[in-house]
Structure 1
Amino acid sequence: MSALSNNNWSRRSLFRAAAGMAAAGTLAACGSNNGRGGGSGSGTQLTQMFHAYGEAGVEQAVKRYPTAYKSADVTTQWITSSDYESKLFATLLTKSAPDVFEFHPQIQMVKSGQVADLSDIIDPVKDDFNPADIKSHTVDGKIYGVRMIDDPQFFFYRPSLFEKAGVKVPETLDELIEISAKLTTSKMKGLYLGNDLHAIISPLIWSAGADTLDDKNQIAYHTPGVVEGLKKMRKLFTSGDLLLGAPTDYWDPSALNQGLCAIQFCGMWAMPQFQKALGDDIGVFPFPKTVDSGKQSVYNGGWSMFVNAKGDNVDAAKEYVKWLWIDQKKDQEDFATSYGFHIPPRTSIAASATKLKSGLPAEGVKLFNEFGHFDNIGWTQAMIQASWDLLANCVRKAGDPEKALDQCDTTVNRELKKLFG
């Protein structure tokens, strides 16, 4: 799910704040925008923290679900400002910390003892989860966090504009650059990748046939194919065919919907908004392969629910998470398909989600299954920031890719040594 309001949301799952767990210096107030669950008066009080999703109805749904829970009173902290991560991390260092919170799998939260092991509640249904979602939340055989939604990201385009320009869906980065030029007019740019391009760094790596880290938690992105991809992105950046400085960022469908561009990188969550604005004149394709030896890719973001291992009600919090995000399949499907389109991590729910079975959503699911890549729990906030800097240095500033990759390596290796020795 996205925030389709430009003011109340920082980014999708890829577009993260650089701040790590230790970066929170002051307590940030959570505001009075709370929702009270309707428990049975058992005396157990739990707090759950969510970032402000932009689609209409999500906040009401998140506050509605726990009203049916009988074992505790659940209060919802709904963070409407753009810096959800820093507010979360700051609050986790205080007595006001939530018992349950949503975020992304991050190994430093495991290493610091911040998140509870949820293996006991997930193991009985483990086989009903997408195996990649289990893997991305697992450290040393233990599962931390329950995936709530999977959010594939790809390119959205208008077939009518492709037909008019006489171009086909690109399968290579060179073809994407070429058709972006052909689609650019005096009133419209060919392509939009977001205002700072951060969203495409991981797909760029995967589409070059590389990866962020390998199975031994060593650098896997410093390859000739990635160097070539960075050079091509610089060419695109300076071409005049790329939309820069759009009113909203890549996660909001406005750029394509309002005719500012012909192709936009965005997420499956925005499909209903695209369809409402453009009708049938909308299609999707994966990130093209960077080099001949590469392969098309789809970044799979999403959100997961974690239990604060340093809270006062860990067992009660785990029971609540089990109840809502494992037992309540109807609510899980509602959360995934009623407020934008997302893929349920539970294979049984994904198989029965009627809204995803045909048309554009079905095409999105197909791309997700064929080309999808998931978060690596060892790819930390500091590493993410280093990769953003890499892209900025090579693409926005015309830096030498090899030197920029060496700088990125230094940061990533320092982090890897801290985490894995």
Structure 2
Amino acid sequence: MKKRQIGMLLCAAAAAIALAGCGSGKTKTEDTKAGQESSKETGKESSQAAAGGDVVIKVFSNLPDRTSGQGLIEQMLFDQYMEKNPNVKIQVEALDDESYKTKFKAYASGSDMPDLVNAWGQPSFLDEVIDAGLLAELNPADYKDYGFIQGALDGFSKDGKLYGLARNTDVMAFYYNKSMFEKYGVKVPETYDDLLAAVNTFKAAGVIPVSMDGSDKWPLSIYINALYQQYNGSSSSKEIREAVKTGDYSNEAWTKSLDQLKKSIDAGIFQTGFETTDYATSMNLFTNGQAAMYYMGSWEMSMATNENIPEEIRNNIGVFNMPAVEGGKGTKTDLTAWNGGGHAVTANSKVKAEAIKLLNYMYQPENWSKLCWEKGVCMSAQNFSQYLTGKETALQLEFVDKVNHATSISGVTFNDLGTNQFKTVSEDASVEFAIGQLTAKDFTDKLAGAMKK
């Protein structure tokens, strides 16, 4: 793929409604002032580091696998930083997403919050954290040459102030086993009816059609969001935000999306017990050949290079978007995508200046962005066009092509658009609906009620 094409990818993402406008809203004078205040606040600490004093930076990460994927890249950068700065020691505590969020709350209520933490640039996570004064303000001017794509830092900004940096451009889609599709004569679904036909074929052959991580709940919420996009097309992002804000879920696309999900589950689209299947198990069902498809994000594109996955699997992984639904306004080029996870520095860190230096080092374009692309791990939230190798995996190129040709992009999905309470209620409701404990009306009533509390 030519560099110009990757440039088009980033332009497409920039033009999309969900990823538009990354300015912090601060003037140059305000940026300078913020930088000066930050320097004064951490002057003693910086002097100690400059004098060669030992500095211990504690990191809390949601990337527990340090041997592959983004966890490997994060650890590589930490190791490089310590090699360049012998007086700095980086201590990492890493947990899976849900365990991470639980312990983050515990840290937040105490005084021992680690110095550099993972943060999600979504209202459900970040708003309360910022309002509680837990994150250090960053100087936007420091990142003017970092190549963040337009809109990438919006989720980490509030009231014109910047509190974190985005790691990736995340795209949700169906991974599929090409050789398994060929074996059973299944074509890549163009429509949702095609997908349901594929479900019937794989079920008849004793193969799990789509592996679903139901235990973590958010994948099911995103699935509903993606179906909504297919029913209402490019206007979906605005409509969904308005629904969460007002509590008005009268748009028939909600009912249609929920009905389609229920019809799919009744047809056996997911594995038995999907509601209690965790992230690792659902992924293993796909990577060991028990499932023909796997619904997950682009951050798992490194499956194609992960040598722990059997070669016949990793060499035959493709990806497709949520298919178009009958009578819907959307198309298969409407993308469920956003800039989500990232890193932030805690406000009360005793080594704040050094933690910010580490953060800034990680996100220098030749570090995170370059390594992630060259290792086939993910699409960063920065312009990675200059790091093309000509050895990209087919999965990398497929995801790039999808963003490049997206007719609309969802932005943050409904479950993350409200408060933390709303997130909990909406994701619980997604699972409860999926297993038949709620009707479609019960589901939307729960969402409406959650924002009124």
Instruction: Specify the alignment match of 1:223 in structure 2.
Output: 251
Of 53, 64, 68, the residue aligned with 1:53 is 64
**Deviation, structure 1 residue 72:** 6.2
Contact 1:252 1:266 survives alignment (8 Å): no
SS at match of 1:152: strand
Relative to 1, partners in 2 of residues 1:93 and 1:206: Cα closer, same or farther, differing over 3 Å?
A: same
Of 431, 434, 438, the residue aligned with 1:395 is 434
Relative to 1, partners in 2 of residues 1:266 and 1:403: Cα closer, same or farther, differing over 3 Å?
A: closer
RMSD: 3.3
SS at match of 1:149: coil
SS at match of 1:393: helix
**Deviation, structure 1 residue 264:** 1.3
Relative to 1, partners in 2 of residues 1:257 and 1:232: Cα closer, same or farther, differing over 3 Å?
A: same
SS at match of 1:195: coil
Contact 2:211 2:285 survives alignment (8 Å): yes
Query: After the TM superposition, which residues 318-397 of structure 1 pair with which residues of structure 2 at under 5 Å, given as runs?
Result: 318-325=356-363, 327=364, 329-333=365-369, 335-337=371-373, 341-347=377-383, 349-354=384-389, 357=392, 359-369=394-404, 370=406, 372-375=409-412, 378-397=417-436
**Deviation, structure 1 residue 64:** 0.2
Contact 1:248 1:255 survives alignment (8 Å): no
Relative to 1, partners in 2 of residues 1:381 and 1:133: Cα closer, same or farther, differing over 3 Å?
A: same
Instruction: Specify the alignment match of 2:29 in structure 1.
Output: none
Instruction: Specify the alignment match of 2:308 in structure 1.
Output: none
Contact 1:298 1:367 survives alignment (8 Å): no
255-264 or 368-377, which moves further after superposition? 368-377
CA displacement 1:240-299 (0-9 Å, x = unmatched) = 342133776378632123222211112334334356342543210012345612344334
261-270 or 242-251, which moves further after superposition? 242-251
Contact 1:252 1:270 survives alignment (8 Å): no
Tell me how far apart the structure 2 counterparts of residues 245 and 413 of structure 1 sit (CA, whole Å).
Answer: 33
Tell me how far apart the structure 1 counterparts of residues 199 and 442 of structure 2 sit (CA, whole Å).
Answer: 29
Relative to 1, partners in 2 of residues 1:156 and 1:239: Cα closer, same or farther, differing over 3 Å?
A: same
Relative to 1, partners in 2 of residues 1:79 and 1:43: Cα closer, same or farther, differing over 3 Å?
A: same
Does 2:268 align with 1:240? Answer: yes
Instruction: Specify the alignment match of 1:268 in structure 2.
Output: 298
Letter in 1 for 2:412: D
Tell me how far apart the structure 1 counterparts of residues 163 and 139 of structure 2 sit (CA, whole Å).
Answer: 7
SS at match of 1:389: helix
Instruction: Specify the alignment match of 1:66 in structure 2.
Output: 81
Contact 2:189 2:195 survives alignment (8 Å): yes
Relative to 1, partners in 2 of residues 1:188 and 1:206: Cα closer, same or farther, differing over 3 Å?
A: closer
Contact 1:183 1:190 survives alignment (8 Å): yes
**Deviation, structure 1 residue 399:** 2.4
**Aligned pair count?**
373
Relative to 1, partners in 2 of residues 1:248 and 1:217: Cα closer, same or farther, differing over 3 Å?
A: closer
Aligned-residue identity in percent: 17
SS at match of 2:204: coil
Instruction: Specify the alignment match of 2:320 in structure 1.
Output: 285
CA displacement 1:63-122 (0-9 Å, x = unmatched) = 303214549624222224661122223223333221211121221111221112224354
Relative to 1, partners in 2 of residues 1:340 and 1:164: Cα closer, same or farther, differing over 3 Å?
A: same
93-102 or 64-73, which moves further after superposition? 64-73
214-223 or 106-115, which moves further after superposition? 214-223
SS at match of 1:399: coil
The two structures have a TM-score, normalised by structure 1, of 0.76
Does 2:137 align with 1:117? Answer: yes
62-71 or 213-222, which moves further after superposition? 213-222
Relative to 1, partners in 2 of residues 1:355 and 1:87: Cα closer, same or farther, differing over 3 Å?
A: farther
73-82 or 225-234, which moves further after superposition? 73-82
Tell me how far apart the structure 2 counterparts of residues 202 and 161 of structure 1 sit (CA, whole Å).
Answer: 26
Contact 1:55 1:339 survives alignment (8 Å): no
Does 2:409 align with 1:409? Answer: no
Tell me how far apart the structure 2 counterparts of residues 147 and 44 of structure 1 sit (CA, whole Å).
Answer: 25
Highest RCO, 1 vs 2 (Cα 8 Å, sep ≥ 6) = 2
Please list every run of 5 or more consecutive structure 2 residues that lacks an aligned counterpart in the other structure: 1-48, 306-310
Contact 2:304 2:393 survives alignment (8 Å): no
Relative to 1, partners in 2 of residues 1:90 and 1:350: Cα closer, same or farther, differing over 3 Å?
A: farther
Letter in 1 for 2:279: D
Instruction: Specify the alignment match of 2:128 in structure 1.
Output: 108
**Deviation, structure 1 residue 184:** 1.8
Contact 1:65 1:324 survives alignment (8 Å): no
Letter in 2 for 1:281: N
Relative to 1, partners in 2 of residues 1:300 and 1:287: Cα closer, same or farther, differing over 3 Å?
A: farther
Relative to 1, partners in 2 of residues 1:367 and 1:219: Cα closer, same or farther, differing over 3 Å?
A: farther
**Deviation, structure 1 residue 144:** 1.8
Query: After the TM superposition, which residues 106-255 of structure 1 pair with which residues of structure 2 at under 5 Å, given as runs?
Result: 106-125=126-145, 128-196=147-215, 198-208=218-228, 209=232, 210-211=236-237, 212-214=240-242, 217-219=245-247, 223-245=251-273, 249=279, 253-255=283-285
268-277 or 221-230, which moves further after superposition? 268-277
51-60 or 184-193, which moves further after superposition? 51-60
SS at match of 2:366: helix
Relative to 1, partners in 2 of residues 1:219 and 1:122: Cα closer, same or farther, differing over 3 Å?
A: farther
Please list every run of 5 or more consecutive structure 1 residues that lacks an aligned counterpart in the other structure: 1-37, 415-421
SS at match of 1:407: helix
Task: Judging by fraction of residues, say which structure has more helix.
Answer: 2
The two structures have a TM-score, normalised by structure 2, of 0.71
